[in-house]
A and B are shown apart, each in its own frame.
Chain A
Amino acid sequence: MNSIGFTEVLIALSLVLLSIVVSRYWKIPVQKDMALGSVRAFVQLVAVGYALKYIFALDSVWVVLLVIMVMILVGAQAASGRVTGIRRGFVITSVAMTMGSLLTLGAMLLLGVITLEARFVIPLAGMIIGNSMNASALTVNRISADIRNNRLAIETALALGKSWREATLPYQKEAAVAGMLSMLNFMKTVGIVALPGAMTGMILAGAEPFDAVMLQIVVGYMLLCAVTITSVVALELTVRRFFTSCHQLVLPMD
C-alpha cells in the first residue's frame, strides 16, 4: 500500500463531496454537518498527529501521564454531559474512568504485556478511555433511571429491613450489564462481523496479520477489564448518591 500524504487525503475528499451530493439529492439536511465535520476531523486529527509526534519524541513518563489525565478529564466531561438525573455527574464519571483506565493500564504495564513507551501507552489509553466513557455514561443513566422509576419497590425492600445495597441489587445488576453490553457484544462478534480498528490499522500499516490479531486480543481483554471496573465504580458512586447513611432513599434534583 502506498504511504498516505496530503495529496491522497485531498483525493479522498472527493468521497465527502460525493456524500454531500447524494444527501442533497435525497434532501437529507446534513450537508453543512458533513462539510464542517470533515474539516473539523481533518484539523483535529492533523493537530493530534503533530502533538503525538512531539510527545513520542519526548517519551517522558510524566508527559504520558499528563496526556492520559487530560484525555480522561475530557472524556469524563463528555460522559457527564450525557448523564441525566443526577448532580455532579462529572465527579462520578471522572473517578470511574480514572480507576478503570489507570488500573487496566497499570496491570498491563506491571505484567509486562506492554512497555511504558508513549507510542504504545497513549493509543491504548485512547481506546480504553473511549470505551470507559460510554460505559460510565450508560451505567450512571441506567441506575439513576431505575432507582427513580422503582421507588416503591426499593422503599418496600428498605421497609422490610433490607440495606440500600440489597434493595437496589436487581437494578445494580441490570445497570452494570447495560454499561458492559456493547463490549460484551463486541467480544462475541469480533473477527466475524467486523475487523476491529487496532487490528485493521496494523494490517494496513504492513504488519503480519497474526501479530495484528495478537495485539487485538490483548486490546479486547484490556477494554473488557477497563469497562468492567469503570461500570462497577460508576455504579457504586451513583447508587450511594441516592441513599443516606441510614438507608433512606433520597431523590436528588427533586
Chain B
Amino acid sequence: MRTSRPVLRLRNLSRRIGHTDNTRIIIDSVSFDFERQKIYTILGPSGAGKSSLLRLINRLDEPTGGEVTLEGKPQCDYSPCDLRRKVGYLFQTPHLFPGSVRDNLLYACSDLSEEEIRTLAEQSHLKTEMVDRSADALSVGEKQRVALARLLATKPTLALLDEPTSALDPAHTAGIESLIRELANQRGLTVIMVTHTPEQALRMGGESLLLVSGRLAEHGPCDRVVNYPQTESGRMYQRKELR
C-alpha cells in the first residue's frame, strides 16, 4: 500500500506531433505515480516512446495533453531551468564539455566546493586524480560516470537515465548498474531508467513500466512485468514479438 506522496505524478500525459491531417501519437495518456527513493525501469519495443516519456518529464519536449506533477507542484509552475536541476537527465551517449572533469562538474553547479567535487567523484567511482584529467581523454565508461557525477552536482531529487549503458561493454555495464543502485540508496534518489533489455530491468530491481505504442501497457514489480505479464501486450513483449 502506497502511503507517501509520490515524488512524480503523471496524469493522462500525452504528446502528439504533426498537423491535424498527419498526427503521430508519441505518448498516449500515460498515468503513473513514482514514489521516492525507488528504482523504475521503462521497458518497451523500439519506438514505444520510452525516451520521449523521459523528455516530457524533464520538459525537453512539451506535452500536448495531461499533467506532470513534481513534488506536488505542476511542472509548469517551475521555471524550466529550475525543473531540470531537480530532474536530472542522462543521455544514452554521454556528452562532456571541453575541459577537465572538474570543469564539467562546475559547469553543472559553479559553487561546488573542493570537498563536494571529491565526494561526487568518489560516489561515481572516479579516482580522485581523474578530476583534473581532460574529458576528451576518458573512455566511454568513464565519460558516463562523469556524466552521472555531473547530473548529481545539481542535487536532483529524480534521475532520468536514458539507456545509460547502451554504448558500454558488459564489464562497464555491470559497473554503471551497481553505481546507479548505490546512488539511489546513498542519495535517496528516485531513478527512472530506460532500458531495452528485460534482463537489465531484472538486475536493477524495483518496478518496471512497459510502454507499447506510447501507452502504458503494464506496470508492477519488475519480475512480474518481465516474467509474468498480465496483459496481451506484455505477453507479446515477453515472446519477443514486439521488439
Contact = CB atoms under 8 A, between A and B. Distances in A.
Interface of A: 152-153, 155-163, 244, 246-249
Nearest to A150: B95
A160 B108 contact: yes
B85 interface: yes
Contacts of B95: 152-153, 156
B150 interface: yes
Nearest to A254: B17
Given A160-B150, A246-B80, A248-B59, A153 B97 contact: yes
Interface of B: 58-62, 80-82, 84-85, 88-89, 91, 93, 95, 97, 107-108, 147, 150-151, 154
B88 A159 contact: yes
Q: Which 4 A-B residue pairs are closest in the complex by CB-CB distance?
A: A161-B85, A159-B89, A156-B95, A161-B84
Contacts, number: 49
A158 B84 contact: yes
Contacts of A155: 60, 91
Nearest to A153: B95
Nearest to A159: B89
A198 B58 CA distance: 56
B81 A156 contact: no
20 contacts: A153-B95, A153-B97, A155-B91, A156-B91, A158-B84, A159-B58, A159-B88, A160-B84, A160-B85, A160-B88, A160-B107, A160-B108, A160-B154, A161-B154, A163-B81, A246-B80, A247-B80, A247-B81, A248-B80, A249-B60
Contacts of A246: 59, 62, 80
A159 B91 contact: yes
Contacts of A160: 84-85, 88, 107-108, 150-151, 154
Nearest to A161: B85
A153 B91 CA distance: 10
A248 B88 CA distance: 15
Contact of A152 (B61, B84, B93, B150): B93
Contacts of B81: 161-163, 247
A86 B222 CA distance: 45
Given A161-B82, A161-B85, A152 B62 contact: no
Contacts of A163: 81
Nearest to A166: B81
A157 B107 CA distance: 9
A109 to B, nearest CB: 43
A249 B108 CA distance: 19
B80 A159 contact: no
B156 to A, nearest CB: 9
B158 to A, nearest CB: 12
Contacts of B80: 246-248
Contact of B60 (A153, A159, A162): A159
Contacts of B147: 156
Nearest to A155: B60
Contacts of B85: 160-161
Contacts of B89: 159
Given A159-B84, A159-B91, A248 B61 contact: yes
A249 B58 CA distance: 13
Nearest to B108: A160
